[in-house]
Amino acid sequence: MSPRPASEIPGLRPIPFVGRHLGLLRLFRDPLRVLPRLWREHGEIAALSRGDPSIVCAFGPAFHQQLLPRAKEFEHLDDIPMRVPEGSALSRTLFNLTVINGADHRRQRRLMMPAFGRSVIHGYRDDMVELAGSRLARWRTGSQVDANREMTELTLDVMMRCLFGLSPGEDAAEVGRLGTSFLEHMTSPATAMLPLDLPWLPFGRFMRLCERFEERLIEMIEQRRASRDQAQDVLSLLIRAADEDGSRLTDRELLGNMGLLFVAGHETTAHALSWTLFLLAQHPQIQLELREELRGELHGDAPTVEQFARLPLLDAIVDESLRLLPPTYVLFIRRAMGEFELGPYRMPEGSLVVLSPLVAHHLPEVFEEPERFRPERWASRKPSPFELVPFGAGPRLCLGASFAAQEIRLVLAMIVQRHGLRMLPGSRVDPKARGITMGPRGGLPIELVDPDARPRPPVDVGGSIREWVQW
Ligand code: HEM
């Protein structure tokens, strides 16, 4: 059968005179509604504007497999849906791995990879345990914690220590706030609509925020440069990194990529941890089984890196949580460098394709009972790298995936051995997209209960979480 024209792709009602950038903003205005709606109403291939193939969503492992490994044919979208004034702090902080393609991307990634190698990450284990330990020392049985806030502060402390070699404090909190607002502004229609650098407009405020973010990054880079020790934080490793031909990351590349690592690694990991704590709180039996596995192997301590291999339920729980509630609900967008076929359609060069782990992880034809938290599904089945894609796949697979995996497992193992987790009766949980990450709106209050008490049934939690998880 010959391919059908791309103009036949079903999708949302077109809005006249809306260009491509605004089309993308239509998605980011309410992605957690738009993406499932596109899938439910139009199936595995759907356009953001009916009849217009310039931005389409493609849901499912077959599309991940088609696009993600072929970086030459499907480039990473290298502009953001917003005006970037030349010579601005925004243009400099944006100059990082995610906005380059081809040989440039390969070179920068090659220089950055060793800082995320196995032994380096294992070397961060003690720092992670120490930082988590001092935070958890403040948690008391019988009290309530905002798990999302706690996890955000913890992952921020970890980032500051492992990326920049800095200790927690006010400074770290400020950089955290700057990084978070940076990401939020970048995908905000309010910032993009009127891109005039005026103090009373969101765009003007974003420009000042970028200047402050850049200043703080430069200060941290200079502090690291000034110290002459052979420190093992990511920044020090990147400053020293050299290719076989002696090429190094330029100052501009260092700045952009440190900003990226910070932004990409902090909130994502915090949300992954928060969602897992929520799922455990709502599944008391699984929580109990995990505690038994952990205590049996660890006797109250945090795992060593060798012990991870002997904690299969912990592994399965993290995979299942990343499947159900992936912190990055979309992958960065791909642009087709030539004509290609997408399912039955012939697509024109330049089309943008949006892939969504969130929707793909809930496809009933791929995952039985997709809305159920069933870690045991991973005992009998290993996912293909294109089915379970919380970290993406192919040459742009998340650079910090092993870093995040280690941090998540360590922190969970420490929490679950010390505390029972329970949601508060009558609470609401609403997933909220900020930038490209998805966390709980307004925090996640969790009650810390006696870990040795008999498990009680889950409480009735309301909110839009029920669209994604059933218990
Ligand atoms: C649970 C935590 C995390 C999740 C879910 C996550 C997810 C992702 C995803 C889905 C992508 C990109 C995919 C694409 O375009 O195909 C990505 C890219 C990236 N992530 Fe992560 N990430 C996490 C933690 C981290 C951490 C801790 C770091 C660094 C410390 C990090 C650094 C990066 C970088 C540098 C890229 C860009 C790679 C490239 O374009 O070559 N991420 N991440």
| Segment 247-296, tens digit of pLDDT | 899 989 999 999 899 888 989 999 999 999 999 999 999 999 999 999 99
What is the pLDDT, as a whole number, of residue 185?
84
Cα 397 to ligand 1 centroid, rounded to whole Å: 7
The Cα–Cα gap between 441 and 189 comes to 19
Question: What is the model's pTM?
Answer: 0.95
Which CATH superfamily hosts domain 4-467? Cytochrome P450 (1.10.630.10)
Cα 269 to ligand 1 centroid, rounded to whole Å: 10
For the CA of 393, the nearest atom of ligand 1: 16
- What averages of pLDDT result for each successive group of 10 residues across the chain (471 residues)? 91 74 77 94 94 93 97 88 87 89 94 96 97 97 97 92 82 80 80 87 94 91 81 92 90 92 91 98 97 98 97 97 97 93 96 97 96 94 91 96 98 98 96 90 97 92 96 90
What is the pLDDT, as a whole number, of residue 75?
95
Cα 404 to ligand 1 centroid, rounded to whole Å: 9
What is the pLDDT, as a whole number, of residue 18?
61
For the CA of 98, the nearest atom of ligand 1: 40
Pocket test for ligand 1, best of 98, 398, 412, 434 (most atoms within 8 A of CB): 398
Cα 466 to ligand 1 centroid, rounded to whole Å: 27
For the CA of 234, the nearest atom of ligand 1: 30
List the chain domain ranges: 4-467
Q: Residues with Cβ within 6 A of ligand 1?
A: 97-98, 109, 260-261, 264-265, 268-269, 272, 327-328, 331-332, 390-392, 396, 398-400, 403-404
What is the pLDDT, as a whole number, of residue 107?
94
Closest Cα to atom 17 of ligand 1? 398
What is the pLDDT, as a whole number, of residue 20?
62
Phi, psi (degrees; rounded to nearest 5) at 65: -65, -35
